Amino acid sequence: MALKLAMGTKLVAATHNPGKVPEIAALLDGRFEIVTAGQLGLPEPEETESTFVGNALLKARHAADLSGLPALADDSGLSVTALDGAPGIFSARWAGPTKDFAMAMKKVEERLEETASDDRSAWFTSALAVAWPNGPAVVVEGRVDGTLVFPGRGTRGFGYDPIFVPEGHALTFGEMEPAAKDAMSHRARAFAKLKAALFD
Ligand code: IMP
C-alpha cells in the first residue's frame, strides 16, 4: 500500500519553535492539524548523522516513536563547493549559541580566502522526512544552486540569505521579495516533492 497522509491527520512537527507552525501549516496547504514536539514536551534528539537526509530522518523517527503520531522533520543548510560542502549540516552551528550569522558569513568568507580558490559556487539543501510511529518513513531533498557574494546584501530573509545569489538571478536571497525566494527555494522544492509523494 502506498504511504499517504490523509487530510486532517494530526502531524507532529519536530521543532521546538512554535513560530514555525504557521509556515509549516501553509507549506502543507493547511491539510493537517500541526502540533509541535515542544508542545508535546518531547525531548530534542542530538543530530548525530552526517547528512541532511540522515538528520531529518533521525528527528522525524524520534518524534513519531515518542508521540505515537506521524511526524515531520527538516534539516537544511548551505554547502560551499570550494569548502568541500561546508558548513553543510553544521550551518546553524557555525553561527554559535547566539545565532550570529554575520559571524558565520564572515567565517565562510575567510575560509574561502584561505583556499585561494575563485570558485564561489554554493547550494542550499532542505531535507524533509515524515515517519510513522514504529513504522516506515519517507524522505525527500530539495536543492537550489547559486553563487556567493561578499559583502552580503539585503536585510530580508535569515541565516546565510545575504550572501547567496540563486542561479539565473541578480539579487541575493536577502534582497528578494519573500514570495520570490519562496517560489524557488530549496525548501519549496522539498515540500513540492513531499506533497507529490504523500498527498492523495
Ligand atoms: P537547521 O535548523 O538545523 O536545519 O539549520 C539550518 C541552518 O541552515 C539555518 O540556521 C540557516 O543558517 C541555514 N539555512 C537553511 N535554509 C536557509 C535559507 O533559506 N536561507 C539562509 N540560511 C538557511
Condensed to tens digits (0 to 9), the pLDDT of residues 7-29 reads 999 999 998 888 888 888 888 99
Q: Looking at the predicted structure, is the pLDDT value of residue 53 above 80?
A: yes
Residue 175: how many CB atoms within 10 A of its CB?
19
Q: How much is the pTM?
A: 0.94
Q: Is 75 a catalytic residue?
A: yes
Of all protein residues, the one whose alpha carbon is nearest to atom 8 of ligand 1 is 77
Ligand 1: centre distance to CA 1 (Å): 34
Question: CA of 148: how far to CAs of 52, 78, 82, 160, in Å?
Answer: 21, 10, 11, 10
Mean pLDDT over 31-47 rounds to: 94
| Cα Rg of the chain (Å, integer) | 17
Q: Are strands 10-13 and 71-80 parallel, antiparallel or unpaired?
A: parallel
Q: What's residue 60's pLDDT? A: 97
Residue 119: how many CB atoms within 10 A of its CB?
13
Domains of the chain (ranges, CATH numbers): 10-198 (3.90.950.10)
Of all protein residues, the one whose alpha carbon is nearest to atom 10 of ligand 1 is 92
